[in-house]
A and B are shown apart, each in its own frame.
Chain A
Amino acid sequence: MLGEGLLKGLAETAKNFAGSFVSKERLITVQYPEERHPLPEASRNFPFLVYDGADWEAGLRCVACQICEKECPPKCIYIEKSKDKKPDYVGKMQIYPARFDIDISVCMSCQICVEVCPFEAIKMDTEFELATDDRFGGLLQDRKQLAKSNEYYHAIHPTEASEVDARLAEEKAKVEEKARAAAAAAAAKAAAPAAPAAPAATPSPAAPKEGEGSQPQ
């Protein structure tokens, strides 16, 4: 019958209209600045630098190897190496970035810098409210703005951060093992130069190889 469908449609919208005043679950819109959807774990926007511990400058994982700078397709990363060195997470002396700038107006969020970084030092952030009234300065982030704690990394990407932590702990353990073995070997050498300690010496040829593999620089 002509007009039947029209009446059905009108009834439907009337139901929606009245229902939206009665039941709150009908209103699916998220009132953005006040309330927001949690971001999915895989979301990413622009890179940031991870640091361990409390002091961002001392804990920065980046060793200024410049791999990310070279790999970055739009060339939005600028790094200046330091003249002096500071200990990294395992205690080895490393140079650090005296300057580390990312121009997020150029960055295309490709995550290549994260994939190439051998030190787990650069990761993707989920922060998206980066609007600024300064076109150039406001979108050029220096290393202080980029530095964010490992706890923050855990908060935004928990699974990935735990994996990274496990890997780093493993490496650190290996390095410590190697150091201990080397120390033991040295001690044994010093104590009994005539009798070499066979069980302590066996892991030492294997350890340096793996150590080299994890630190390609």
Chain B
Amino acid sequence: MTNTLDQIFVLLKHWIMGLFPVGLQPIVGIVLSVVAILAVFPGLFAFSVLMERKGLGRMQNRIGPNRVGPFGILQPVADGIKALIKEDVVPYNADHIVHFFAPIVLVVVVFMGYAVLPMGRNMTFVPMDAGLLFYFAMGASAELSVFMAGWSSRNKYSLLGAMRAVAQMISYEIPLLMTSVIIVMMTGSLSLDKIVEAQNHYTWGLPHWYVFTPMGFAAFVMFAIAATAETNRSPFDLPEGESEIVAGYFTEYSGFKFAEFFLGEYVAMLSISGLGATLFLGGWSAPLEALNFIPSWIWFFAKIMLAICGFIWLRGTFPRLRQDQLMNFAWKFVLPMTLIDLVVTGLWRFLGEGWLRWAVCSAILLAAYLITARMGMRSKKLGPRSYRYAE
């Protein structure tokens, strides 16, 4: 029974495939998986937008949207209808073709990332050996779309936003990759399925998730920072900085194209949360051995939604960074920390089993954090800014 529930989507897919002639079955299988991804994640997008608006409201001591439907739960529907019936304005001087394709490219690439994410036991669309590589290739293409949008709009705010976005995304792409390399070093595989399998066993009922190792924890924190920056979320939302450059690279987009950017941003957030959960939080594995009876896909989506809550919490708390703070943080704090973390991961392998490697690795990482932070704070590269004349 537990097993059936766990595999219910796989069984359903095979049952539907069985209704078609053998020659058509592979194509039907692909279509079914694609349709499932295209149905589930925009649904989660609507849900997370609602959750974000309600959550942010609560953090600011407001109620949040409560007019459309009971407790405002139909707000995303109203937003969607509004986006669909709005006029689609394209600037006269814009590069129309590129302008048209930019949101499409974003949505397509962002959805491609889901192909390799294991969403449950046996629930990877394309169980690729180099899944992680594929994921990052797709993730990096999102920058292309952002720059297409900014460049083709022929608007200085769009262009400024796009330049900020590209600078930021490239800077934070490096720590994002480096932290994933740590996981690859620990697992010895680029396949996301193997990474989940490696974490899916238990000692005394507790899981072997990578976040519960010293370098895994450090990598997780760095990954979370880099993922926030990579998806242009607050406090790293400089590319969209509403108070500075209107809406950044999608200033000149309206109606459904704007909604597509919005969708792309949230779906990217969901997908990077999924990757984070896969790499550090054991993917679809249960947090306790005793909880294994709950279907694996529930755990995966629960972890995604938990990460989204984290994103919302960060957005509700932190003010936007300045461009130089952003760059200093990426290159002078996050990158050195990830490099040290890489070395520590190598060390972990050669210190053998036992408490020694825990102590040594934790000590090195803690010392590295203290020293980097102290140096950064002293040279005023990080931390609060002091003003020479204004105070």
List chain A residues, Cβ under 8 A from B66: 31
Of the stretches B25-33, B80-88, B311-319, the one at the interface is: B311-319
Q: How far, in Å, is A89 (CB) from chain B's closest CB? A: 47
Q: How far, in Å, is B69 (CB) from chain A's closest CB? A: 16
A9 to B59, CA, bound (A): 11
B61 close to A6 (CB less than 8 A) = no
List chain A residues, Cβ under 8 A from B313: 10, 13-14, 17
Q: Pick the residue among A2, A17, A31 that contacts B382 (CB under 8 A).
A: A2
B373 close to A13 (CB less than 8 A) = no
Residue on B with the closest CB to A10? B317
Contacts A9-B318, A29-B63; is A3 near B373 (CB within 8 Å)?
yes
Secondary structure call for the A interface: helix
List chain A residues, Cβ under 8 A from B55: 17
User: Is A12 interfacial (CB 8 A cutoff)?
Assistant: yes
A16 close to B60 (CB less than 8 A) = yes
A13 to B61, CA, bound (A): 9
User: Is A128 interfacial (CB 8 A cutoff)?
Assistant: no
List chain B residues, Cβ under 8 A from A130: none
List chain B residues, Cβ under 8 A from A9: 317-318
B318 close to A6 (CB less than 8 A) = yes
Give the top 5 A-B pairs by smallest Cβ distance, nearest first. A2-B373, A13-B59, A13-B317, A20-B58, A9-B317
When each residue 2-27 of chain A gets 1 if its CB lies under 8 Å from chain B and 0 otherwise, what string results?
11001001101110110111000011
Q: How far, in Å, is B158 (CB) from chain A's closest CB? A: 31
A3 to B66, CA, bound (A): 35
* Interface band, chain B: 20 to 34
Contacts A2-B383, A6-B318, A13-B317; is A29 near B62 (CB within 8 Å)?
yes
User: Is B376 interfacial (CB 8 A cutoff)?
Assistant: yes
* Interface band, chain A: 10 to 19
B377 close to A21 (CB less than 8 A) = no
List chain B residues, Cβ under 8 A from A3: 373
Number of inter-chain CB pairs below 8 Å: 48
Q: Which B residues form the contact surface with A (CB < 8 A)?
A: 55, 58-63, 66, 313-314, 316-318, 333, 369, 373-374, 376-377, 382-383
A2 close to B61 (CB less than 8 A) = no
Residue on B with the closest CB to A16? B59
List chain B residues, Cβ under 8 A from A6: 317-318
A14 to B312, CA, bound (A): 11
B383 close to A27 (CB less than 8 A) = no
Query: 17 A-B Cβ contacts within 8 A?
Result: A2-B369, A2-B373, A2-B374, A2-B376, A3-B373, A6-B318, A13-B316, A14-B313, A16-B59, A17-B58, A20-B61, A20-B62, A27-B61, A27-B63, A28-B61, A29-B62, A29-B63
User: Is A1 interfacial (CB 8 A cutoff)?
Assistant: yes
Residue from B60, B61, B316, B377 with most neighbouring chain A CB atoms (10 Å): B61
A133 to B313, CA, bound (A): 42
Residue on A with the closest CB to B235? A6
A12 close to B317 (CB less than 8 A) = yes
List chain A residues, Cβ under 8 A from B382: 2
List chain B residues, Cβ under 8 A from A20: 58, 61-63
A27 close to B62 (CB less than 8 A) = yes
Q: How far, in Å, is B47 (CB) from chain A's closest CB? A: 18
A10 to B63, CA, bound (A): 19
A20 to B63, CA, bound (A): 8
A17 to B316, CA, bound (A): 10
A17 to B226, CA, bound (A): 25
Contacts A10-B317, A13-B316, A13-B317; is A1 near B60 (CB within 8 Å)?
no
List chain B residues, Cβ under 8 A from A12: 317
List chain A residues, Cβ under 8 A from B314: 10
A21 to B54, CA, bound (A): 12
Q: How far, in Å, is B28 (CB) from chain A's closest CB? A: 45
List chain B residues, Cβ under 8 A from A26: 61
Q: How far, in Å, is A26 (CB) from chain B's closest CB? A: 5
Q: Pick the residue among B58, B63, B369, B373 that contacts A16 (CB under 8 A).
A: B58
Q: How far, in Å, is B238 (CB) from chain A's closest CB? A: 18
List chain B residues, Cβ under 8 A from A29: 62-63
B59 close to A17 (CB less than 8 A) = yes
